[in-house]
Amino acid sequence: MRLLVTGGAGFIGSNFVRHVLAERRDVHVRVLDKLTYAGSRDNLADVLDDARLEFVEGDICDQATVESAADGADAIVHLAAESHVDRSIISAEAAVQTNFVGSFRVFEAARAAGVQRLLHVSTDEVYGACLGEPFVETDPLEPRNPYSATKAGADHLAHSYFVTHGLPVVIARPSNNYGPWQYPEKLIPFFVWRALRDEHLPVYGDGMQVRDWLHVEDHCRALLLLLERGAPGEAYNIHGGDERPNLATIRIILDELGKPEGLIRHVEDRPGHDVRYAMDASKLGALGWEPRVEWESGIRATVRWFAEHRDWMERATARGKAYFEEWYAGR
Ligand code: NAD
Ligand code: TYD
């Protein structure tokens, strides 16, 4: 199988590339990645020498670049995105360009290449905040922040390409991921980074917002399954199956690092903050998948991984210095 992975130098992308190289001998993986602040060759360092992996630096918003990267591919896993809600609140520009326009370019390139499968990686955030029963795939999309709106737009476009052009698109909707190589702007690695330096942890509002944490290895297993067995035109929820308020996760981080709870500081809430994400993933379960990594031990192991990779965190946070200064000023 010849695979194009967009965003393969990011958090989930690098884990997925490693997973597919380990699980499938007969695979050629071409990564297309712009190497924004969130992406780095660092994240793929241990597999870059693998002859089955090819790295192309380029922007999915450039049609010729994506078409050339997709040429000869049997399938595409589309992960490239501007993935952070807070950044999309400061400015939605990059998210609109990459998540919506860039996805459009990927869908066009997939058509031109005649791929057998396009796995479009979306998010649970497209459903909006969950105030009742966990969302199922047929629920309406009601995104509430600029990031999730651009992702929902791409989902609609993907579905339209299936209906109109017969593009064999499968849509994945994962919940909040955690694990090695996550860029330290997201809750878990960011708070590990701050706690290690004895800096306060800026908890938005009361910290009782609920997230359903999915370990990135469980996610990658689900993505490979959907790539090979997902039905074209269908969307699949992927969850960790374990909803937790943010403060519970934060307390585990502090406990694992042996740091005091006095580091917690409640700060101004994120505008449009979704209070809860929750999904039913039984459709994916019917294909034989279930999450394996237990929440607390998974979080603890992840915290240890970051603590053992401080150089990596140093390099990654240095790339986001201006953002951290702007967003957290006064928080
Ligand atoms: P990430 O921010 O860690 O990585 C994104 C990667 O995309 C980076 O390597 C970046 O360089 C690359 N990229 C960005 N813009 C690009 C462009 N214009 N052209 C080419 N490459 C570009 O993100 P992630 O957490 O790995 O998320 C991957 C996908 O999964 C995204 O589509 C995201 O919306 C989705 N997702 C993530 C989570 C999560 O918890 N991290 C949850 C649900 C869905
Ligand atoms: P995040 O990792 O940004 O993921 P998402 O917004 O996509 O769910 O945030 C996870 C939760 O942690 C979310 O409820 C916001 C909260 N949070 C804070 O309280 N403080 C922070 O500094 C960050 C980055 C997140």
Q: Check residue 268 and report its DSSP letter.
A: P
Task: Give the pLDDT of residue 206.
Answer: 98
Mutate to test the pocket of ligand 2, among 83, 84, 86, 186 (most ligand atoms within 8 A of CB): 186
Task: Give the pLDDT of residue 2.
Answer: 98
Ligand nearest to the backbone CA of 188: 2
Q: Check residue 232 and report its DSSP letter.
A: T
Nearest residue by C-alpha to atom 12 in ligand 2: 187
Cα Rg for the chain, rounded, in angstroms? 19
Q: What is the DSSP string of 93-122?
A: HHHIIIIIIIHHHHHHHHHHHT-SEEEEE-
Instruction: With respect to residue 276, please indicate whether it lies within any of the assigned structural domains.
Output: no
Burial of 196 (0-12, 13-18, 19+ CB in 10 A): middle
CA 81–ligand 1 middle distance (angstroms): 4
Instruction: With respect to residue 265, please indicate whether it lies within any of the assigned structural domains.
Output: no
Domain containing 154 equals: 2-177+216-238
Q: Please give the distance of CA 173 from its chain centroid, rounded to a whole number.
A: 10
Q: Phi then psi for 161, rounded to 5 degrees?
A: -70, -30
Instruction: With respect to residue 300, please indicate whether it lies within any of the assigned structural domains.
Output: no
CA 83–ligand 1 middle distance (angstroms): 5
CA 13–ligand 1 middle distance (angstroms): 7
- Report the run of H or E that residue 230 belongs to, with start and end: none
Please enumerate in sequence order all residues whose Cβ is within 8 A of that of 50, keeping only pairs 6 or more positions apart, or say none: 21
Residues of the chain with pLDDT under 70: none
Instruction: With respect to residue 271, please indicate whether it lies within any of the assigned structural domains.
Output: no
Average per-residue pLDDT for the chain = 98
Ligand nearest to the backbone CA of 10: 1
Q: Which two tokens stand for residue 152?
A: 């929902």
Task: Give the pLDDT of residue 134.
Answer: 98
Please enumerate in sequence order all residues whose Cβ is within 8 A of that of 130, keeping only pairs 6 or more positions apart, or say none: 274, 276, 277, 278, 279
What amino acid positions are annotated as catalytic residues? 124-125, 147
Instruction: With respect to residue 262, please indicate whether it lies within any of the assigned structural domains.
Output: no
Ligand 2 atom closest to Cα of residue 249: 12
Instruction: With respect to residue 29, please indicate whether it lies within any of the assigned structural domains.
Output: yes
Total count of domains within the chain: 1
Task: Give the pLDDT of residue 81.
Answer: 99
Instruction: With respect to residue 153, please indicate whether it lies within any of the assigned structural domains.
Output: yes
Please enumerate in sequence order all residues whose Cβ is within 8 A of that of 94, keeping only pairs 6 or more positions apart, or say none: 82, 87, 88
Task: Give the pLDDT of residue 62.
Answer: 98
Give yes or no for residue 209 CB within 6 A of ligand 2: yes
- Report the run of H or E that residue 211 belongs to, with start and end: strand 210-212
CA 261–ligand 1 middle distance (angstroms): 31
Task: Give the pLDDT of residue 7.
Answer: 99
Give yes or no for residue 295 CB within 6 A of ligand 1: no
Task: Give the pLDDT of residue 148.
Answer: 98
Nearest residue by C-alpha to atom 17 in ligand 2: 187
CB of 33 closer than 8 Å to CB of 39: yes
Nearest residue by C-alpha to atom 13 in ligand 1: 80
CATH of the domain at 72: 3.40.50.720
Give yes or no for residue 81 CB within 6 A of ligand 1: yes
Other beta carbons within 10 Å of 33: 28
3-class DSSP state for residue 201? strand
Nearest residue by C-alpha to atom 24 in ligand 2: 187
Task: Give the pLDDT of residue 297.
Answer: 98
- Tokens 């199988």 sit on residue: 1
Ligand 2 atom closest to Cα of residue 83: 7
Give yes or no for residue 189 CB within 6 A of ligand 1: no
Instruction: With respect to residue 323, please indicate whether it lies within any of the assigned structural domains.
Output: no
Give yes or no for residue 13 CB within 6 A of ligand 1: yes
